[in-house]
Amino acid sequence: MADQEKGALERREEVRPAEPTRIEPEYLPDVDIYETDQELVLVADMPGVDRGSVDVDLSGGVLTLTGRVKPRTPEGGFTCIGREFRTGNFSRSFALSEEIDSDKIAASMTRGVLRVRLPKAIPASRKIAIKEG
């Protein structure tokens, strides 16, 4: 996307109103954004997140991606005595412009990779009649 053009997607820094009540850390997922003439595609990496633990929410022109990681519990009666690999939840928000057709946004999840398709709106064009006076 060109610097001089207003993009259809803008990263939005958001101040959270309250601290989370859980101990798990929260990460910004890495996101790649691809553009075609018809759509933008967001590809977000959320390792350890399954499809049932992902929310894609559009509210007030802000698209929010949230993924929750289920805590791992060892099978076979083992007790964890040390942990170096930390899991955490994922959250990222993007402000959408009017260039996106919000009614046609679609999302899919495969192996911890969330893909969100943001179709571009077809610009409405019509001829405006000019009246006398």
Residue 87 lies in a domain: yes
Which residues face 65 on adjacent strands?
56, 92
What pLDDT does residue 3 have? 46
Q: Which residues in the chain come in under a pLDDT of 70? A: 1-23
Number of domains in the chain: 1
What pLDDT does residue 4 have? 40
Residue 45 lies in a domain: yes
What pLDDT does residue 102 have? 92
Residue 19 lies in a domain: no
Give pLDDT tens digits for 18-45: 556 666 788 999 999 999 999 999 999 9
Q: What is the pTM of this model?
A: 0.71
Q: Provide the CATH number for the domain around residue 90.
A: 2.60.40.790
